Amino acid sequence: MKPIVRPGVADLVPYPPGKPIEELERELGISGSIKLASNENPLGPSPKALEAIKDNLHALNRYPDGSGYYLKTRLSRHYGIPLERIILGNGSNELIELAVRAFLSEGDDAVQHFPAFLVYEKVVTGAGGHMISVPISDFRIDLQELGQALTPRTRIVFITNPNNPTGSVLSKEALAAFLKEVPDDVIVLLDEAYIEFVTDPAAARGLDLFDAHPLLFVVRTFSKLYGLAGLRIGYGFGSADVIDYMNRVRQPFNVNSLAQAAAIGALDDEEFVSDTLRIVKEGLDYLCARLVEMGLDAVPTQTNFFLIRVPHGGKRVYRAMLKEGVIIRAMDGYGLPDYIRINAGLPEENERFIKALKKVLADLSAAGD
Ligand SMILES: Cc1ncc(COP(=O)(O)O)c(C=O)c1O
């Protein structure tokens, strides 16, 4: 007997299934592979976060602080935002889900640019909503087209800045002008998962834009810069009302105690933050220079990852790279079948990627593929 599912759920495609690296290695008969596929921090977790975790292990018999008081207080100080305008999530993924659960009813519309982070559409469709996707233009989000896609039933607009997978940023001027045009009762979820990597001084930052739109909800994460992807912790800033409604639909203990402690440690870890920014910049510079030498196009980025146009199709290159022990992301699921995406790794990982890519492209050309 098949279960009866909510409208939209049967049409969902599961998130691209992955296997643990160890399992892939066993299947392929290789070892020592590297992963540049998920925009993670190549340095590992923040050491101060690890210390904080150790200091809190003894209290694992207790439920976490459901209000996230200490972390929110720390974030409040760090960003100058009052406590009641901050929410914590089990990764920023959960905050995306909570926003949809709180503000989108079955049959409502949401608007996103495409390609975008695949989770937005998944969550909206799973909630019985309808996602309107506006194609990007020349790897940039087209705000004018996005604005024109809004319908009277649109409850949420998703914008990623900098964007994943393109790495492009919107200017503060352009985003402020867009936000002012969005009807006041529509939530604008601004996903800033990679904002800390941005170097362009003209780039938009959500914290400067609350005056432009009353229902701006800014989402951030500890998964990237702070190296805590495995702990699942993100945070969001919005109006006190937006945060209040989202708090009503979340589980009382949605963020575990080690994640809360680690995030406080990571925010204090200035050395780790500057080391990460340096290693990412050096990695991107190295990779782009080598790719240009190879005659490949790398899409300019303001993040820790970037798109590369490859001959033979992204999926084929992905499969061949896997056999070389280099895990990258094929972009066919994002409507970019000729592209792969990688994040900057450690110097030796970047070198290995380039070496493997040269071999793979030569092999595919020789095979006439
Ligand atoms: C645009 C974007 N938003 C959110 C996330 C997820 O972050 P978290 O690990 O905080 O759920 C990612 C992770 O890849 C991302 O690329």
202 found inside a domain: yes
Tokens standing for residue 369: 């593929």
Among 214, 235, 267, the domain boundary falls at: 267
Residues 109 and 234 both lie in one domain: yes
Residues 115 and 248 both lie in one domain: yes
Residues 260 and 279 both lie in one domain: no
Residues 154 and 183 both lie in one domain: yes
Whether ligand 1 lies within 6 angstroms of the CB of 193 is answered as yes
64 found inside a domain: yes
pLDDT tens string 313-339: 999 999 999 999 999 999 998 999 999
What CATH number is associated with residue 345? Answer: 3.90.1150.10
Residue 18 confidence (pLDDT) above 70: no
Beta bridge partners of residue 87, listed in sequence order: 236
pLDDT tens string 257-276: 999 999 999 999 999 999 99
CA 3 to ligand 1 center in whole angstroms: 30
Rounded-to-integer distance, Cα 311 and Cα 1, Å: 46
Whether ligand 1 lies within 6 angstroms of the CB of 163 is answered as no
Residue 15 has what pLDDT? 64
CA 94 to ligand 1 center in whole angstroms: 10
Residues written for the chain: 369
Tokens standing for residue 37: 């596929």
| Minimal-distance CA residue to ligand 1 atom 2 | 193
26 found inside a domain: no
Cβ neighbours around 128 below 10 Å, total: 15
Residues 249 and 293 both lie in one domain: no
CA 127 to ligand 1 center in whole angstroms: 19
Whether ligand 1 lies within 6 angstroms of the CB of 349 is answered as no
Residues 259 and 296 both lie in one domain: no
Residues 246 and 339 both lie in one domain: no
What CATH number is associated with residue 225? Answer: 3.40.640.10
Among 267, 282, 312, the domain boundary falls at: 267
Q: Please tell me whether the peptide bond between 214 and the residue prior to it is cis, using omega within 30 degrees of 0.
A: no
Residues 209 and 286 both lie in one domain: no
Burial of 2 (0-12, 13-18, 19+ CB in 10 A): exposed
Total tally of structural domains belonging to the chain: 2
- The whole domain housing 222 covers 57-267
**pTM for the whole structure:** 0.96
Nearest atom (ligand 1) to Cα of 89: 10
Residues 210 and 248 both lie in one domain: yes
Among 234, 267, 300, the domain boundary falls at: 267
Whether ligand 1 lies within 6 angstroms of the CB of 94 is answered as no
pLDDT bracket for residue 193 (50, 70, 90): very high
Candidate from 97, 117, 158 with most ligand 1 atoms within 8 A of CB, to mutate: 117
71 found inside a domain: yes
pLDDT tens string 57-88: 999 999 999 999 999 999 999 999 999 999 99
Residues 132 and 255 both lie in one domain: yes
Rounded-to-integer distance, Cα 297 and Cα 300, Å: 9
74 and 68 Cβ atoms separated by less than 8 Å: no
359 found inside a domain: yes
52 found inside a domain: no
Instruction: Give the residue from 71, 3, 318, 299 showing the smallest Cα distance to 168.
Output: 299
pLDDT bracket for residue 287 (50, 70, 90): very high
330's enclosing H/E stretch is strand 329-330
Tokens standing for residue 210: 């609350």
The gap from C-alpha 121 to its chain's centroid, in whole angstroms, comes to 14
190 found inside a domain: yes
Residue 80 has what pLDDT? 97
Whether ligand 1 lies within 6 angstroms of the CB of 46 is answered as no
Residues 259 and 284 both lie in one domain: no
Residues 126 and 219 both lie in one domain: yes
Phi, psi of 187 (to 5 degrees): -75, 130
289 found inside a domain: yes
